């Protein structure tokens, strides 16, 4: 079984990069999990965009601190394989984990959010324990949406040998530490993003710079027609015992042509 984990999809450029890569590589994976909390203009999700992501080949959409930015999500969050962090308080709309079956394999997808420099939710470490004890699965994948590298890494070691893979999201910058931990869990601090390459974590550089210089609120905008867009993800393979045997980081760049379409660059830089 081959599983693809995709970083935060940011706005239209991110959706385009996601679609292009999935179209070109559909035969390389059996299951795709993507973080979609920034897919609608950088903030939240709409039902139309959820359906687009699913039509591209995404099987499960995970979330984070921007999940509820679009209030319309309350109307459809339970209709789709769409997750919000499981450590939101009891009674929060939506669900934080999903058990699905692919080719006879039971796959548990868990979405959690860190608490360092983030909204103060329930303890993600303890919430994982509860879910892991409650749900029986062959494979367990965790999207840990967090700001602090230390918190993500601590969580990785905490679930090492229990989770099949832990992929960090939220910072939008792909880290180079993809590896198997001592007990076999595949881990990366942050898988990165799908979005405009020459941007500040997916938004126009001008707005990002202005916020740091003036220390005032700035309305962030996603670039409309960026020359370069990127796809970030990790792809790994499981053997018959559901152990990770092969894995790779993916960083692909697509360049805009004169007709408005995009073509893959041989080198990402």
* Residue keyed to tokens 């869990």: 185
pLDDT of residue 218: 84
Could you give the percent of the chain with pLDDT greater than 70? 99
Distance from C-alpha of 187 to C-alpha of 164, rounded to nearest angstrom = 9
CA 263 to chain centroid, in Å, comes to 23
Mean of pLDDT values over 40-48: 96
pLDDT of 232 over the 90 cut? yes
pLDDT of residue 74: 97
pLDDT of residue 115: 96
pLDDT of 149 over the 80 cut? yes
Q: Classify the C-alpha dihedral 83-87-92-98 as positive or negative.
A: positive
Active site residue ranges: 66
pLDDT of residue 194: 99
Q: Are strands 193-196 and 186-188 parallel, antiparallel or unpaired?
A: unpaired
Partners of 35 in beta bridges: 62
Mean of pLDDT values over 196-215: 93
pTM to 2 decimal places: 0.96
DSSP character string of the chain: -EEEEE-EE-HHHHHHHHHHHHHHSGGG-SEEEEE-TTTTTTS---HHHHHHHHHHT-SEEE--TTTTSSGGGGGTTTTSSB---TTSPTT-SS-SEEEEEETTEEEEEEEEE--TTS---S-HHHHHHHHHHH---SEEEEEEE-S-HHHHHHHHHHSBTTBSEEEEESS----S--EE-TTS-EEES---EEEESSSBTTB-HHHHHHHHHH-S-------SS-SEEEEEEEEEEE-TTS-EEEEEEEEEEEEE-TTS-EEE-SS--
Distance from C-alpha of 236 to C-alpha of 128, rounded to nearest angstrom = 22
Q: Classify the C-alpha dihedral 243-9-55-25 as positive or negative.
A: negative
More confident: 268 or 109:
109
Q: Are strands 228-238 and 244-256 parallel, antiparallel or unpaired?
A: antiparallel
Mean of pLDDT values over 110-123: 95
Mean of pLDDT values over 186-198: 98
Burial class (CB in 10 A: 0-12, 13-18, 19+), 133: exposed
Structurally, at CATH architecture level, domain 2-264 sits in 4-Layer Sandwich (3.60)
Distance from C-alpha of 222 to C-alpha of 204, rounded to nearest angstrom = 6
Q: Is residue 121 very low, low, confident or very high in pLDDT (cuts 50, 70, 90)?
A: very high
At 78-109, the pLDDT tens digits run 999 999 999 999 999 999 999 999 999 999 99
Mean of pLDDT values over 2-22: 98
């Amino acid at each position: 079984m081959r599983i693809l984990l995709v970083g935060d999809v940011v706005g239209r450029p991110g959706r385009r990069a996601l679609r292009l890569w999935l179209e070109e590589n559909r035969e390389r994976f059996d299951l795709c999990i993507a973080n979609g909390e920034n897919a609608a203009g950088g903030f939240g999700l709409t039902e139309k965009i959820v359906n687009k992501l699913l039509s591209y080949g995404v099987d499960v959409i995970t979330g984070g601190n921007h999940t509820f930015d679009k209030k319309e999500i309350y109307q459809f969050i339970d209709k789709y394989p769409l997750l919000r962090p499981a450590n939101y308080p009891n009674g929060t709309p939506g669900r934080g984990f999903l058990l699905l079956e692919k080719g006879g394999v039971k796959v548990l997808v868990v979405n959690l959010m860190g608490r360092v420099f983030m909204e103060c939710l329930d303890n993600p470490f303890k919430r994982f324990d509860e879910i892991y004890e409650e749900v029986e699965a062959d494979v367990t994948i965790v999207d840990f949406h967090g700001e602090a590298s230390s918190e993500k890494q601590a969580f990785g070691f905490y679930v090492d040998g229990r989770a099949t893979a832990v992929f960090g999201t939220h910072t939008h910058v792909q880290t180079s530490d993809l590896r198997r931990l001592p007990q076999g869990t595949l881990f990366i601090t942050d898988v990165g993003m799908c979005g405009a390459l020459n941007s500040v974590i997916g938004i126009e550089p001008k707005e990002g710079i202005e916020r740091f210089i003036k220390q005032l609120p700035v309305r962030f905008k996603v670039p409309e027609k960026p020359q370069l867009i990127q796809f970030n993800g990790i792809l790994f393979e499981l053997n018959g015992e559901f152990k990770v045997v092969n894995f790779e980081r993916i960083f692909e760049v697509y360049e805009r042509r004169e007709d408005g379409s995009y073509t893959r660059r041989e080198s990402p830089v």
